[in-house]
Amino acid sequence: MKRDRKRVLITGGAGFLGSHLCERLLVAGHEVLCVDNFYTGSKDNVLRLLDSPHFELMRHDITFPLYVEVDEIYNLACPASPVHYQFDPVQTTKTSVHGAINMLGLAKRVRATILQASTSEVYGDPEVHPQTEAYWGRVNPIGPRACYDEGKRCAETLFFDYFGQHGLAIKVARIFNTYGPRMHPGDGRVVSNFIVQALSNKPITIYGDGTQTRSFCYVDDLVDGLIRLMASEPEFTGPVNLGNPTEISIGALAEQIVAMTGTGSSIVYRPALQDDPTQRCPDISLAGRHLDWRPTIELEKGLQETIAYFEKLHSSNQLTY
Ligand SMILES: NC(=O)c1ccc[n+]([C@@H]2O[C@H](COP(=O)([O-])OP(=O)(O)OC[C@H]3O[C@@H](n4cnc5c(N)ncnc54)[C@H](O)[C@@H]3O)[C@@H](O)[C@H]2O)c1
């Protein structure tokens, strides 16, 4: 084996972010083991990688132990969108917590470096903007989003306790809203929702008055950040925010997607969702300092790529939601 070729395990590798990460690591010359239970991910996302002798796909649920020999682990397995993670909230918490315990145990056994895909949702509905990593968050522990938010918070706790207690090499990324090709068309996340509604000429639904803001990071930028974090100096564990700090209101996003798709869809307003944050924006100065990372892909360019992906699904009648 080439000396710099690593054996990399990606849990949730058949999902949106995971499939892009698999691809990038293969291109970089690594051996990639993609582990997924296909809850929200699909074989289609990694179909073109199956011919590579350096790629392996394994159906496995990370709430059960896994015994493999690897050098690095990216722990991405977890449904990421509210519709999916709220469908079976107990399983969501199990995936975050039992999954983290299993993957940390594996990393400890084989002395692998392990990276956790944490989330901006650990900040809950924040009182400070933009959010730095020092902010502890404001999460409702018994609300509908708690299975995800608290599951991810507990996973972070486990990562830092394995680091403190066992000296494990850990990295924790707090990922903010990311979008791009291979998002699940039915996941209810705002970018995919608006594009799917626009392409199907259905009304574009905004929950709340549309003034709430979000910031969107294109998937290629995010994957670049994850890879840089994994390669960062051993002392740097994070947590580190990865996201795009350019804010846009949900109303403005809807208008941009209407313009770019040329749809005849109208924009309709529905009551705001419970515990939905009014503003979400990362402070990414820590990532800039330690990883020399910042997003480079403009929203318009990223939306073009994403719309093109969904148009392809639409024209082959695979756009169901
Ligand atoms: N996309 C974002 O904007 C975003 C933001 C913050 C954090 N994240 C985190 O990044 C990771 C990937 O998110 P994504 O957007 O690619 O979501 P996704 O739903 O497309 O991918 C998650 C993958 O994990 C798999 N999975 C779920 N439970 C599993 C289990 N118990 N065992 C094995 N596999 C399991 C799913 O089948 C899917 O392939 C998640 O951990 C998510 O919490 C994503």
Residue by residue, DSSP assigns 182-246 as: T--TTS--HHHHHHHHHHTTPPEEEESSS--EEE-EEHHHHHHHHHHHHTS-TT----EEES---
Find the 236 Cα to ligand 1 centroid distance in Å: 24
Average pLDDT over residues 104-109: 98
pLDDT digits (tens, 9 = 90+) for 12-68: 999 999 999 999 999 999 999 999 999 999 999 999 999 999 999 999 999 999 999
Q: Is 95 in the pocket of ligand 1 (CB under 6 A)?
A: yes
Task: In whole angstroms, give the CA distance from residue 200 to residue 192.
Answer: 12
Residue 177 has pLDDT above 80, yes or no: yes
Dihedral of CA 82/86/91/93: which sign? positive
242, two tokens: 């990865």
Residues in the chain: 321
Q: Is 178 in the pocket of ligand 1 (CB under 6 A)?
A: yes
Structure confidence at residue 293 as a pLDDT band (50, 70, 90): very high
Continuous segment of H or E residues that includes residue 100? helix 89-110
Task: In whole angstroms, give the CA distance from residue 209 to residue 292.
Answer: 37
Task: In whole angstroms, give the CA distance from residue 306 to residue 299.
Answer: 10
Per the annotation, the verdict on 148 as an active-site residue is: yes
Structure confidence at residue 191 as a pLDDT band (50, 70, 90): very high
Find the 259 Cα to ligand 1 centroid distance in Å: 30
- The residue annotated as part of the active site, out of 39, 85, 148, 218, is 148
Q: Are 237 and 170 in contact (CB under 8 A)?
A: yes
Dihedral of CA 114/119/122/128: which sign? positive
Alpha-carbon torsion angle 52, 54, 60, 66, nearest 10:
170
Find the 2 Cα to ligand 1 centroid distance in Å: 30
Let me know if 44 is exposed, middle or buried by CB neighbors in 10 A (0-12, 13-18, 19+).
exposed
Residue 69 to residues 32, 104, 146, Cα–Cα distance (Å): 12, 13, 33
User: Before 53, cis peptide (omega within 30)?
Assistant: no
pLDDT at 209: 93
Backbone angles phi, psi at 22, to 5 degrees: -55, -50
Residue 2 has pLDDT above 70, yes or no: no
